Each structure stands twice: as structure tokens, then as C-alpha cells.
Amino acid sequence: MTTATVLPSIGAEIPCSCYAANVPLKVRTALVNVEFKGGIKVRVETHPDEPPHKAVVLKVVGHKVEADHPQLGRITIEQDNMEATPDSLLKIVQHFPPKLSATMFLSFKLTIERPPGSEEGPGAMARPEPLVLRTKEPAKLLSPELSKFPPDGDFYRLETPIKLVHPDNDQVIATIDKFPVRVGG
């Protein structure tokens, strides 16, 4: 395998599937485990400081995963603002056998169809408003030992917990401590 074929071509848009099981989502005092399914799409761009045969930038141009929960209904994670999402990085760490390292940054909004606590109080029969939160800082997911890109069901792990805040202020309403996501091409 030549070096030129290890990294994807500049300008390529690559869709990947995403599957994350047993994701602990804490909303206020409620803790639930959910299973997200969906996908991500990245555009390959030149790295400002590295030649394209050593490293490339991955620009997230689409990201959406969803989970269904018996009490909370549909929970959606969706890219919030493409320009606010920092560029991700894919670089070669070893040529033979090929080994790549990927660092993905994700800024997103999380929507919970039926937030916990919304079924209480007077008017409990009324349909609650969905709860919409955004990432306080971009999530950072790492996959240090890919053999190719797009990945073939490889795991990415969350570096630090994701804090989700109300869009009007920086009050943390929810957290995701782990997001073990399997990514495939």
C-alpha cells in the first residue's frame, strides 16, 4: 500500500455510520442509558501545517444520531453550527502496517422529546415542550489506531465528559460521561 492511498483525497466527502450503545445521559438528576444510531459526514481538506500525505483536516459537514427511550421519547444529537465546530484531524502515525490517528471535534444540539420531570404537576396531560441543549465546549472523540479511513467499525472514545447547556445561558443541564461510538464507512 502506498502512502498516497492511506489518507483520503482532498475534497472527498465521506459518510460514515455511527452506533453508540450504553451511553449514560444524565439530565438534571435523572440518569438513563441510551443507544444512539445515525451517521456523520466529513469533508477532507488540506492541513495548514502538514503535507497531504502526512495529515488532513476533516471538516464535519453533517452529523445526526438518534435514540429512542421509553420515558424520554426520541433523543436527537445533531450538528448545531458547522462553522462553530473545530476542524478534526486525521494523521498517519505509522506507514507499515498503516496506522492512523483521528481526533474528531463535535459541536451539537441535543433534543429530548419528553424531558424528565415534564410529566409532573398540573396540566400533566399536556404534551411537554422538548428540551433543547447545546454543547458547552465541543466534544472531543479519539481513535488512535485506525488501519484506514473511513473506519471499518472502529471505536472512538470520548476524551472528557460532554457538558450540555441551555441555549440562553451556560447552565449545565445534562452531561454525557461516555460516548463509545463505533464508526463505519
Q: Which of 37-41, 94-98, 179-183 has the weakest average pLDDT?
A: 94-98
List the one residue out of 140, 171, 158, 68 whose CA is nearest residue 111.
68
- Residue 2: pLDDT band with limits 50, 70, 90: very low
Average pLDDT over every residue of 149-168 = 95
For 67, the grid coordinates are 435514540
Spatial distance between the Cα atoms of 122 and 102, rounded to a whole number of angstroms: 49
The tens digit of pLDDT for each residue in 96-130 reads 899 999 999 999 999 999 998 765 545 555 667 99
What pLDDT is attached to residue 4? Answer: 45
Average pLDDT over every residue of 156-178 = 95
Spatial distance between the Cα atoms of 81 and 106, rounded to a whole number of angstroms: 10
- Residue 167: pLDDT band with limits 50, 70, 90: confident
**Neighbouring residues of 173: CB distance < 8 A, sequence distance ≥ 6:** 27, 28, 131, 133, 164, 165, 166
